[in-house]
Amino acid sequence: MLETLLPRNESTLDRVVRVLLGIVLLALVFVGPQTPFGWIGLVPLVTGLVGSCPIYRLMGWTTRKMGRGEA
């Protein structure tokens, strides 16, 4: 069911970069300039953890390599 709603379309490298970017942006809320702009970091953090990007899905893009038996 979850795979139907949020199909994986991110490669491992894409996911790692998103999680790291999300953590760095969220850190801006608590340390450094303490700007609310850092809450935007939730978007790449969540999409990286889930492995699915809604924008990629709308555009029909994927960075994930398909293995055998996957469509």
- Structure-token pair, residue 35: 């700007």
- Where does the pLDDT of residue 69 fall: very low under 50, low under 70, confident under 90, or very high at 90 and above? low
| 9 pLDDT more than 80 | yes
Give the CA diameter of the chain. 48
12-68, pLDDT tens digit by residue?
A: 999 999 999 999 999 999 998 898 999 999 999 999 999 999 999 999 999 998 776
- Structure-token pair, residue 18: 């998103």
- Structure-token pair, residue 41: 């970091």
- Which whole number is the average pLDDT over 4-18? 94
To the question of pTM greater than 0.75 for the whole model, the response is yes
| 70 pLDDT more than 70 | no
Given a contact cutoff of 8 angstroms between Cβ atoms, the answer to whether 18 and 64 are in contact is no
Burial of residue 48, with CB atoms counted within 10 A of its CB: 0-12 exposed, 13-18 middle, 19 or more buried: buried
